[in-house]
Structure 1
């Protein structure tokens, strides 16, 4: 097993959405006064704790998205929305 990530094309829409989600959550955490994993030394207990909190935040956002979709929300998974 290797630690390398799969080689996604630069224009892969799922990868772009994942990067946007990550950036949004990092910005929201900063606005809330929370620290992100990169704010701590790699491998430190604080870094791992921040990673766990970050993953929980991602899970909460994804859960909200699923609830919205299950309630019939109008959502284009490719980002076009109503104007697309």
Structure 2
């Protein structure tokens, strides 16, 4: 499965604990990544400074669903399930 261009659900919905250029403390859930362009493309895609967590995240039907809206819902649920209590 390929990413839907412009979706960026994984760059907004989930938290990322590793440093990201422009976000040295990582990214909280629900906050746009500082590396997203206005049209929701990653400025770091394919570059060595892209965090390994982002590089290893692969789109899947379970994560992305059939639409951007479904991706947001799926990732919000995953974020809730994996959030430390």
Q: TM-score by structure 1 length? A: 0.29
Over alpha carbons, which structure has the higher Rg? Answer: 1
